Structure 1
Amino acid sequence: MHITKTNFIANGTSIDKQIKEFEEQIKEQQKITDHEIREFPVSVIVDKFTTDLETDEAELYIPDYQREFIWTVKQQSRFIESLLLNLPIPYLFVADTSSKDDGRLEIVDGSQRIRTLVNFMKNDLQLSDLKNLTSANGLRYKDFPKSRQLRFNRKTIRMIELTEQADEEARREIFDRLNSGGVQLNYMEQRQGSSDDAIYPFIKKLIEKYNNKGEKNLLRTLCPISPTRESRAEYNELLLRFFAYTNNYLNFNHNVFKFLEDYARSVNDTEFENLENELDSVLEYVNSTFPYGFKKKQTDHTTPRIRFEAIAVGTALALRIKPNLSTQQNTEWLNSEEFIKHTRSDASNSKPKVKARIEYVRDKLLGK
């Protein structure tokens, strides 16, 4: 093809326009990742995470999209050893969630390290498998002399604090990039993209029945979630978790992905009507009984996953025992320290904790 001078000029103009848009995009995106660098002593970081944790109002908190606490004792011990040896520690990433008007800091990256610090300073971690400080193997924080405890408390870790410009979508993307080098599909997105016919039909029906945006969709009314979570198939994830835990929570073994995957594979197409009817009953009961549905407060625009699980599955189990369960319930226990402890942001997916929070709701509804 012969390129004329006119084409060259036209193409040049087009490139200039593209470069201008490119530069504008960079400036706009840099606003989202605007940040400040802070440095805090270990004791202050632990205090920010643990103070008011019982009421789920701690200044530093773990968001829904974060993974569970998965570090082994060996990994935790090596991190503590690194601090003791003054080895370089990666920055923590947090975000000012000013949109919630509470001044709190959401942990974007670093929850494993922060929870390790908490475990160690609460004496829940016994050091092991240390290669350099071998003499510290078997010790807990309380075993250190007072002078060493104070020095450890004063050790500082740097923290990058994203400003309020970083919305939830930006925070999720930063988390994914830091942890995988790029945005990974979450578990439900992977399932939806699966070509396995044993899994797809069940999920497809969930989407068709409960994921529409009609005004009469009770699930969306009772359990609102943010647009970002919705765009990543969160409703479908919540539904699958509801069915899997309701029907098989006693066989949960800490690996959430495998547990949900195995359940999805096991569902027979003929079972869907019964599952559908049970969920409809639960939604109607929650709508009639709980003043804010699955939400914590009337003004909330999103629902924590762990709270939905506890209330939805606990209600289903109670209705199985007592189908005519009264909707005239005293629901003050929703604000109790015990329930908040079961469903706060650091509550893990260990089998005992999953069982405890589900059965707590079940037993409260049954008057036990």
Structure 2
Amino acid sequence: MRINELNSQLFAEKDAKSRAKILSEIEVIKSLAEDKIRNEQRVVEFETKEFTIELISHKYENGKEDDVNELFVPDYQRDFVWDKKRQSKLIESLLLGFPIPYVFTADVDSEDPELDGRIEIVDGSQRVRTIHAFTSNNLILQDLKTLDSLNGFTFSDLPLSRQRRFLRIPVRIIELSSKCTEETRRDLFERINSGSDILKDMEVRKGSELGSKPLYTQVIRKCSSNEDFKDLAPLSLSKEKRDERLEFTLRFFAYLDNYQNFEHSVRDFLNEYMQSHGEPDSNKQQEMISEFEKVIEFVKVNFPTGFKKTASAKSTPRVRFESLAVGVALALRANPKLEVDNLDWLTSDKFKTLTTSDGANSRSKVIERIEYVKDSLLGY
């Protein structure tokens, strides 16, 4: 029984003996909880530092092209996705002397002497890259409200005295020691960002321990880079940067494997799939990649608009992609030599309703839309 239930019982109980029994049970639960904390608690050694803007920019820039820069962004981090307005807002905050959040980094321990001692950015890569963009004159300030007279400025447009002062601004750094494992760094990244609406679900997965599993590194990432896939299922630049294509690929495999058991939370469904299927062996990896490629080839040959609604569409809806991709895969499993005789259903009111109506992510809708595509292709 949970402690809140026992507390409710205690509140309602008047008998002294019964209350004593409940209090005893509560103490046992508290003791077990404390033991759990002690057993799971990790000793994370860290130092609090201050780097100047100039030092941050230099450590990030020097050696960046050869991927040997001292201050670097690890592969589980997201792309540089802040727009110019948000970047400008950070620079304005720094110029005004406002405090900005800590940048979390980690001292990397490596057997390679060229890489040993580098500083991995665990959280704060958007801020670091914004600082570098500005000091490198690759950011033109815009939409500033307080310092509106600086709109249109680059770093070099500032008076030399202001440039010097800006480069001396300190930024607070928390640096995890080299004893901090990659697993802990990824866990920290996920915990910092999982409650934020800035990161999309796939970005959080990529940065968590799920992003280190073979399912992601050997299958999802490889399939998402398929050039035909990019042509057949176009996405806006912002969605590409926010790992929407990785999300599409993950959804394909998760629904294909277990769509009939989908409940109501897509996020939980996908996370559970990555957790339970994260370690496919090399044969299974190749099998998954091959099936994905066969689906892409089938759509390329047979569907005139690919996964899009129309030939001129610039983006692809998730629900439409899922139903078509998984439906095609299931149809090919039933008939590997499948030939298309009729595609009228692609523009039917029924298909439009299944892929655009309310409740598109209810269990019944997921099953219905996927099986509608499969049955239509098989002529049922």
Q: Structure 2-normalised TM-score?
A: 0.52
What is the CA distance between 1:148 and its match in structure 2? 0.8
- Give the one of 231, 248, 266 matched to 2:230: 248
Distance 1:73 1:188 in 2: 21
The answer (yes or no) to whether the contact 1:188–1:236 under 8 Å persists in 2 is no
Partner residue in 2 for 1:41: 52
* Residue pairs, 1:59-98, within 5 angstroms: 59-98=70-109
What is the CA distance between 1:44 and its match in structure 2? 0.2
Q: Which runs of 5+ in 1 are unaligned?
A: 191-225, 281-368
- Give the one of 222, 225, 230 matched to 2:213: 230
Distance 2:201 2:160 in 1: 45
Question: Does residue 1:138 correspond to 2:152, yes or no?
Answer: yes
What is the CA distance between 1:111 and its match in structure 2? 0.5
Question: Does residue 1:108 correspond to 2:122, yes or no?
Answer: yes
Distance 1:70 1:160, change over 3 A: same
**Aligned residue identity for 2:218:** Y
Count of residues paired in the alignment: 238
The answer (yes or no) to whether the contact 1:240–1:264 under 8 Å persists in 2 is no
* Residue pairs, 1:269-280, within 5 angstroms: 276=290
Partner residue in 1 for 2:194: 180
Distance 1:64 1:138 in 2: 33
SS at match of 2:213: helix
SS at match of 1:57: coil
Distance 1:148 1:93 in 2: 27
Partner residue in 1 for 2:180: 166
Distance 1:249 1:55, change over 3 A: farther
Higher Rg of the two aligned structures = 2
Distance 1:21 1:231, change over 3 A: farther
Distance 1:63 1:147, change over 3 A: same
Distance 1:278 1:23, change over 3 A: closer
What is the CA distance between 1:86 and its match in structure 2? 0.3
The answer (yes or no) to whether the contact 2:84–2:141 under 8 Å persists in 1 is yes
Partner residue in 2 for 1:295: none
The answer (yes or no) to whether the contact 2:90–2:127 under 8 Å persists in 1 is yes
**Aligned residue identity for 1:187:** M
Partner residue in 2 for 1:55: 66
**Aligned residue identity for 2:89:** R
* Residue pairs, 1:166-315, within 5 angstroms: 166-181=180-195, 186-187=201-202, 229-230=212-213, 233-242=216-225, 244-248=226-230, 251=234, 253-254=236-237, 255-256=239-240, 257-260=243-246, 276=290
The answer (yes or no) to whether the contact 2:202–2:247 under 8 Å persists in 1 is no
- Give the one of 116, 122, 137 matched to 1:123: 137
The answer (yes or no) to whether the contact 1:37–1:161 under 8 Å persists in 2 is yes
Query: Structure 1 segments of 4 or more deviating over 4 A?
Result: 7-17, 182-186, 249-252, 260-267, 272-275, 277-280
Q: Deviations over 1:274-333 (max 9, x none)?
A: 9729979xxxxxxxxxxxxxxxxxxxxxxxxxxxxxxxxxxxxxxxxxxxxxxxxxxxxx
What is the CA distance between 1:24 and its match in structure 2? 2.5
The answer (yes or no) to whether the contact 1:60–1:105 under 8 Å persists in 2 is yes
Distance 1:263 1:23, change over 3 A: closer
Distance 1:94 1:249, change over 3 A: farther
What is the CA distance between 1:167 and its match in structure 2? 1.4
What is the CA distance between 1:21 and its match in structure 2? 2.4
Distance 1:235 1:147, change over 3 A: same
Q: Percent identity?
A: 36
Distance 1:188 1:46, change over 3 A: closer
Distance 1:15 1:263 in 2: 43
Higher RCO (Cα < 8 Å, 6 or more apart): 1
Worse overlay, 161-170 or 117-126? 161-170
What is the CA distance between 1:239 and its match in structure 2? 3.5
**Aligned residue identity for 1:164:** S
The answer (yes or no) to whether the contact 1:176–1:182 under 8 Å persists in 2 is no
The answer (yes or no) to whether the contact 1:188–1:233 under 8 Å persists in 2 is no
Q: Deviations over 1:227-284 (max 9, x none)?
A: 8610774433224314x335435955432344455678899x9xx999729979xxxx
Q: Deviations over 1:20-40 (max 9, x none)?
A: 6235336x41x1x32100001
**Aligned residue identity for 2:90:** F
Distance 1:231 1:275 in 2: 12
Q: Could you say what the CA RMSD is over the residues aligned between the two structures, in angstroms?
A: 4.1
Partner residue in 2 for 1:154: 168
Distance 1:142 1:187, change over 3 A: same
Q: Which runs of 5+ in 2 are unaligned?
A: 1-14, 257-285, 295-380
Distance 2:99 2:80 in 1: 22
Distance 1:149 1:189 in 2: 36
What is the CA distance between 1:18 and its match in structure 2? 2.5
